[in-house]
Amino acid sequence: MELTATYITRAEIWLCLTTLLYFLMNGAQIFETLIFVPKWASSPPDTFKLLQDGQGASLKFFWIILHSLHEIAFILAIIFCWKIDPVRNWLLALFLVHAAVRVWTLTFFAPNIIQFQNLAATSSLSEEIAARISLWKNLNYIRVAIYIALSIGIIPLCIKIFSYRQ
């Protein structure tokens, strides 16, 4: 199969854009994990106010927009790399892991943050909620590490794509 220069260029653009967006997300996730999460988790329920829309540093829209842009770019990278078997296959595998982590985010992390936001007005914190905060924080380290590993996993694919220019 003949890969044209135009095809390879489009594949490079979308794969590099996906990688760039992944690393942008990684930076935001690392900042949030090391700076923001310890702050809102430090003295709940008072610090839960930091999570509230309009009162705190609500990051909901930031994450919705960034993840949406990234996932569109990721899907376009798969489409534009489709004729390049080794790259396509690895991108599909990475995307499946990425999608699994996104489902985990939407089914565990997001609902818990929403509940934490709703507890901002309460005066005390149950042991069950304290345990869930601790679990959320610990699992978040794993989630961020997986996202970082996924983005690092795309780098060899970028190198592979660039080798097709020769």
Mean pLDDT of 74-102: 97
More reliable by pLDDT, 103 or 45: 103
> In this structure, what are the phi and psi dihedrals at residue 112, rounded to the nearest 5 degrees?
-70, -40
Count of domains for the chain: 1
Question: What pLDDT digit, counting tens, does each position of 24-77 carry?
Answer: 999 999 999 999 999 989 888 888 888 776 665 567 788 889 999 999 999 999
- What pLDDT is attached to residue 47? 83
- What pLDDT is attached to residue 57? 57
The model's pTM is 0.90
Residue 146 structural domain? 5-163
